Structure 1
């Protein structure tokens, strides 16, 4: 079925200022969506509070408002422009929360504006922690043991059931804001109080800890005929306990067996259908126990997410553009693949290369911030690299960080072999602590003779990834023995 002709003007909400957890990925997505909708002849009205974006350029939308992103301001825009529909799934968490405010205050009903892409009920089921847990239970998928609370007293009651360490996750927040892992009662009280304060609806989920589990993400697209495809699987190099935005991530997933992947794929389709995201893209996060394979659903973003931008660039599949077109009635089998020019969007992308994303931190600008990584996002940017192998992409991504390193070593720019070389005790302590410098101490650990099993015990990083790092260090050692390029074996070039 082609696009809907009953819609003439579509209102798009931007993501607002660039902050930690919500950066230019949503400018990228919003710009794609504006162009895609205008291609189809729709009049696009854009509201964003940040003028320093591509989406607010005059030629991107038909009408652009640079105004505060509050429901009162959006109501005034709706009164002036009289849009037929609101598309809230392309402006990050800010746009979703704003759409929910508009729905809650009856603005959309008052002016006859239809919410497309994801309805208010679907957003509520995905973002409200208790509703999400109930929905997952109804389709037989496991979530972390826990409960949603609205006060510190209730949280302490739940703590008796889940024990310490406990994870605190506020509802309707961005980039893990207010979330964290509490290892003692004092930390627990502090994090719950902060989470309740930051949650727009004043509730947090207190749940069991899954620290050390393997974390995966699936990017899913669905159309109005209930056709669904997986665009990309993404694996976190770091285990659960570190926000996915602060973790090194790899696409496609490297350590899943085919059986595990198919199980996760089926679960992803079940989740997007149960939550009720009618059209467009969603990001679903899973955790897998490293030894017994137990799989749980962590959460779902019923919108184009930060990972969607990575998946788009990794596969060449323009997720935001396709999501916008699906929202106005197109089906996956009707939309052409922009890369092949021959196949349709209903074909799941298949890639024969590896993509690695490494986060960039700037703690030198925030001297009072805690540099230890946790469930709240702290990175300010990221690099992405493509290679035929994980090792190639990993080396390229490290070099792209612009921190003065040419890769994982062998550039004479680290501390190894200098008077400042770290001791084995220092290495063990730094490897066990997730922070921006841990990746370099993984190299020192290999150089110091630590085994893969020893490093795995300290970090919970999958042994496959650690073996890849060992191979890089071993190749470095071989290159050092060659002395010159002419003396280097052909197999190393």
Structure 2
């Protein structure tokens, strides 16, 4: 064996880490940044470390992404830039022997490590592994919700394709289908019939008993979201965020407004009560995210995530509550009262904040820009004002959505959406826009006293759009509104029209609720201009 080989072996056996005399606490990050798990968890990890260091402990971060702030050398006392696997985490624990591990600020990646770590004798700080699993496991969660007397959409689980089809038929279409223990709504879809369900099962999921498929009744309504902080006895609700888009679009892709604009005091009170019941039942210690839907003035629980969520940075900024640091101090033994916070809903401000998603579809060629239950956004921005309409306008501008005040709108609408679209189209016409749509849809609008400019063709020829392509490339179209939810094949009319809009940097909207928000913003600007 030569000298170079000996030097190489010596370096392999060398351990650069030296255990500190301080008691240490280790924080697991979120790993590689990807859609559904990104910079928001990096934000939470960094603030968690700040609280740990302020409390006098040595803070150790384990994360594996060089693009994050948490992997900057100056953030923690010690950084392990290693893969987030059970084996690698245990190797670090063997060296540093921390008092415990915090997993609730590293997204689903960190949560998924909790059970394996506990089985190896590692102490998980904050919400216990048992209660993490009660929130993640469908049957356990259903039992908790029933015990509390709360409502949720009818839901079932299945572990085989035949069972999934049987359960969906029993619940009744449309249904929301997704794998369990997933990230960012991955492989989640709204299914309208058995044929769609068979196609989904064939192309999206692998059946396994340990990871069943979840099937839920799909309810139309206003979706809203809460991040709560619990110390085991008291529950602080920093704010209730109302989604602009209705249920069916992933919360990460939805616009959201705080404080809520359309929720009654009754519903807000029910949300706070339900949040407190769930947090205490699941013995939450730290942060918890809850998502609700208001259907026919009734509140339903959609899901609970026993960890920090992607809305924590937004809500922390608009409320002034350093939510991750407050939660970390609770995990370290300092309750809400000790930190100066009261049980219940935090006082809502007069100023209005709108969160808007940012997308990178122009760089993700194989991603259909039609929005649904699976998350596709890569960032977010915020608009703030004392007026809801002006806050909306600022959010659109910040998201680089150029909502011009006149021009043409290309309208591709499903038959099932035409009645909902009608008042929106009338508002666009009153603002001076021309409407370009298919002959069939044009006839419907004309019959309802709306003048339209009909496109001569609405089908593909040899896999390419003819006049629609020329229209989009001409620069005369200001918006493309497309609700053709069934057109996902790459040679379909809806898919190609959406991709052309992205290629030409034309604002594309696939939700009529987003379109309604655009109109509110445009009307606000029209009133401002007329007043000058």
**Are residues 446 and 469 of structure 1, via their aligned partners in 2, closer, same or farther at CA, if it must alter by over 3 Å?**
farther
Deviation at 1:91, TM superposition (A): 0.6
Q: CA RMSD in A?
A: 3.0
Q: 2:379 is matched with which residue? A: 381
Q: 1:3 is matched with which residue? A: none
Q: What do residues 354-386 of structure 1 show as CA deviations (whole Å, max 9, x unaligned)?
A: 110111112122222222111100111111122
Matched residues in 2 for 1:370 and 1:422: separation?
A: 20
Choose the corresponding residue for 1:149, options 158, 161, 178: 158
**Are residues 205 and 363 of structure 1, via their aligned partners in 2, closer, same or farther at CA, if it must alter by over 3 Å?**
same
Q: What do residues 309-352 of structure 1 show as CA deviations (whole Å, max 9, x unaligned)?
A: 2211121111111111110100112225xxxxxx7798824322
Pairs within 5 Å for 1:193-208: 196-197=205-206, 201-208=210-217
Deviation at 1:207, TM superposition (A): 1.4
Deviation at 1:189, TM superposition (A): 2.4
Deviation at 1:196, TM superposition (A): 4.3
Question: SS state of the match for residue 35, structure 1?
Answer: helix
**Are residues 430 and 127 of structure 1, via their aligned partners in 2, closer, same or farther at CA, if it must alter by over 3 Å?**
same
Question: SS state of the match for residue 306, structure 1?
Answer: coil
TM-score when normalising by structure 1: 0.81
Deviation at 1:71, TM superposition (A): 0.4
Deviation at 1:83, TM superposition (A): 1.1
**Are residues 72 and 349 of structure 1, via their aligned partners in 2, closer, same or farther at CA, if it must alter by over 3 Å?**
farther
Matched residues in 1 for 2:253 and 2:209: separation?
A: 24
Choose the corresponding residue for 1:311, options 315, 318, 329: 315
Is 1:266 the counterpart of 2:315? The answer is no
Deviation at 1:474, TM superposition (A): 3.7
Matched residues in 1 for 2:368 and 2:430: separation?
A: 27
Pairs within 5 Å for 1:81-100: 81-100=96-115
Is 1:409 the counterpart of 2:417? The answer is no
Matched residues in 2 for 1:359 and 1:68: separation?
A: 29
Matched residues in 2 for 1:347 and 1:257: separation?
A: 14
Asked if structure 2 preserves the Cα contact closer than 8 Å seen for 1:196 and 1:202, the reply is: no
Question: SS state of the match for residue 422, structure 1?
Answer: strand
Deviation at 1:42, TM superposition (A): 0.8
Q: What do residues 52-96 of structure 1 show as CA deviations (whole Å, max 9, x unaligned)?
A: 211112221111100011001111111111111111101111110
**Which structure 1 residue ranges, 5 or more long, are not aligned?**
1-6, 337-342, 411-415, 434-439, 483-487
Asked if structure 2 preserves the Cα contact closer than 8 Å seen for 1:428 and 1:445, the reply is: no
Choose the corresponding residue for 1:355, options 349, 353, 372: 353
**Which structure 2 residue ranges, 5 or more long, are not aligned?**
1-21, 419-423, 436-444, 451-480, 484-509
Q: 2:76 is matched with which residue? A: 61
Is 1:136 the counterpart of 2:145? The answer is yes
**Are residues 63 and 441 of structure 1, via their aligned partners in 2, closer, same or farther at CA, if it must alter by over 3 Å?**
farther
Asked if structure 1 preserves the Cα contact closer than 8 Å seen for 2:383 and 2:392, the reply is: yes
**Are residues 160 and 318 of structure 1, via their aligned partners in 2, closer, same or farther at CA, if it must alter by over 3 Å?**
same
Aligned length: 435
Matched residues in 2 for 1:470 and 1:177: separation?
A: 31
Matched residues in 1 for 2:388 and 2:130: separation?
A: 40
Asked if structure 1 preserves the Cα contact closer than 8 Å seen for 2:409 and 2:434, the reply is: no
Q: Relative contact order (C-alpha < 8 Å, sep 6+): which is higher?
A: 1
TM-score when normalising by structure 2: 0.75
Matched residues in 2 for 1:173 and 1:471: separation?
A: 35
Q: 1:422 is matched with which residue? A: 409
Is 1:284 the counterpart of 2:290? The answer is yes
Q: What do residues 155-194 of structure 1 show as CA deviations (whole Å, max 9, x unaligned)?
A: 1220221122211122111111121111232321243456
Asked if structure 2 preserves the Cα contact closer than 8 Å seen for 1:143 and 1:296, the reply is: yes
Q: 2:257 is matched with which residue? A: 250
Asked if structure 2 preserves the Cα contact closer than 8 Å seen for 1:168 and 1:192, the reply is: no
Matched residues in 1 for 2:521 and 2:345: separation?
A: 35
Q: 1:118 is matched with which residue? A: 127
Choose the corresponding residue for 1:167, options 162, 167, 176: 176
**Are residues 295 and 188 of structure 1, via their aligned partners in 2, closer, same or farther at CA, if it must alter by over 3 Å?**
same
Q: 1:391 is matched with which residue? A: 389
Deviation at 1:445, TM superposition (A): 6.3
Question: SS state of the match for residue 311, structure 2?
Answer: helix
